[in-house]
Amino acid sequence: MAKIMYIEALKSALREEMRKDKNVFVIGEDITRYGFGINRGLVDEFGPDRVRNTPISEAAIIGSAVGAALRGMRPVVEIMFVDFIMIGLDQIVNQAAKMSYLSNGELSVPMVIRTPEGTEWFGGGAQHSQTLHSMFMNIPGLKLVIPSDPYDAKGLLKSSIRDNNPVIFFEHKQLYTQKGEVPEGEYTIPLGKAAVKKEGKDLTLVATSWMVKHSLEIAEDLKNKISIEVIDPRTLVPLDKDTIINSVKKTGRLLVVDESPISGGLQGEIITVAMQEAFWNMEFPPKRIGSLNTPIPFSSVLEKKVIPTKEKIKEEILTMFSD
C-alpha cells in the first residue's frame, strides 16, 4: 500500500467526491494559490465555478455555503485557521445547526467546514494556534470529525461530504505532512466509530488528532512496563461511547489527552461518559491532559508549558502506576 501525506489523502477524497457528485464544490480564501494547499490543483479539473476563491469574509463564506447547501449543493468550506471560524460562528450555530430541526427535517445543510487547529511550535501565537473543537460539542445539530492519520482523513472526509448534516472537520497543522498508508480507490469510514489504534490491557488512553501520534509512541516506549490501549474517537459527535466504555471496563484506568484547554473540554466529557458506566471497574481515578487555560503564547518555551507534550503525557501515565 502506498504511503501518502495527510494533505494528499484529503485532496484525493475531495477529488473523488467532486468527480462523483457535481453538487460538491470547494470554497474558501485563496484555496487555489495559498495556504496549506489541500485544494490546490482542483481548479484545473473542476473549473473556477466549483473551486471558489473568496474575499476575506468568513461569515459570508460559511453563510453562503449554508445557503447553497439549503439549495441542494454540497459545499466543502476551507477556513484557513480554526481561529477564523469565530467570525462565521453565527452562521454555524444559529443558522446551519438549526435548519433541520426548525423545519422538521425538510431543510438540510450538507456542508463540511474543514479547518486546521493546534500548534506544537507552529509559531502562530494566540490567534492562529487554538484548539476549538470542544466548544462545538455544546451545539446540537453539528457533527464533529477529527481524523489523526491519512487513512482516516480520507475515509472520514468522504463520509462527511456525503452526510446530510453540517460537519466541522478538524485537521491539525502538524498532521498535514505526516505520511500513512492509504489504499488506492474507494473506501469510506462511518461517522461515529472510534478506532482502537493499539490494543492494551492496563490503561485506556483516549487521544485525538496530533495527540494520537504522541500516544502511540508512548505506548511503544512503555510497552515492557505498561500495556496501553490507544483509542481515537475520530468523531466527537456522534461519539462512540461503547468503544471507550468497554475499554475502560477492561483496563480499569483512563487517561484522556486532547489539545483543547482543559476547562469545559472534551477531556471532561469523555471521563464523565466513561465513569457513568464503568465507575465500579476503576482501579485509579481518571485523569485528563489538555492545554493550560491560557492563550497560546508565541515563545516556544512558553508554548511547551501550555500544550500537552509527549513528556507530560508520559509523566502522567507513570503517576497512574506509581505504587
Report the DSSP pairing between strands 112-117 and 74-78: parallel
Amino acid at 131: T
Of 38, 247, 237, nearest to 150 (Cα)? 38
Q: Is 102 in the site for other proteins (CB under 8 A)?
A: yes
Of 80, 16, 68, nearest to 45 (Cα)? 16
Q: Is 174 in the site for other proteins (CB under 8 A)?
A: no
Instruction: Please check whether residue 66 is in contact with residue 90, taking contact to mean a CB–CB distance below 8 angstroms.
Output: no
**Given the C-alpha cell 466504555, which residue does it identify?**
245
CA–CA separation, 180 and 7 (whole Å): 11
Q: Which of 1, 55, 184, 224 binds other proteins (CB under 8 A)?
A: 55
Report the SS3 class of residue 289: strand
Question: Is 214 among the catalytic positions?
Answer: no
**Given the C-alpha cell 485506556, which residue does it identify?**
204
Q: Which of 32, 129, 165, 178 binds other proteins (CB under 8 A)?
A: 165
Considering the complex, state which of residue 54 and residue 281 has its C-beta at the smaller distance from other proteins: 54
By CB under 8 A, what part of segment 134-153 binds other proteins? 140-141, 143
Q: Is 43 in the site for other proteins (CB under 8 A)?
A: no
Considering the complex, state which of residue 35 and residue 141 has its C-beta at the smaller distance from other proteins: 141
Across the strands, what pairs with 144? 168, 237
Q: How many residues bind other proteins (CB under 8 A)?
A: 49
Q: Which of 10, 99, 207, 212 binds other proteins (CB under 8 A)?
A: 99
Binding segment for other proteins among 64-72, 116-124, 169-177, 261-269 (CB under 8 A)? 64-72
Measured CA to CA in angstroms, residue 238 lies from 171, 186, 259, 281 at distances of 17, 23, 19, 25
Q: Which residues contact 104 (CB under 8 A, 6 or more apart)?
A: none
CA–CA separation, 12 and 110 (whole Å): 20
Minimum CB distance to other proteins, residue 265 (Å): 23
Q: Is 65 in the site for other proteins (CB under 8 A)?
A: yes
Q: Is 119 in the site for other proteins (CB under 8 A)?
A: no
Minimum CB distance to other proteins, residue 70 (Å): 5
Q: What is the distance, to the nearest Å, from the Cα of residue 35 to the centroid of all Cα atoms in its chain?
A: 19
Q: Is 185 in the site for other proteins (CB under 8 A)?
A: no
Q: Is 133 in the site for other proteins (CB under 8 A)?
A: no
By CB under 8 A, what part of segment 220-259 binds other proteins? none
**Interface residue list for other proteins (CB under 8 A):** 20-21, 25, 49-50, 52, 54-55, 57, 59-60, 62-75, 90-91, 94-95, 98-108, 110, 140-141, 143, 159, 162-165
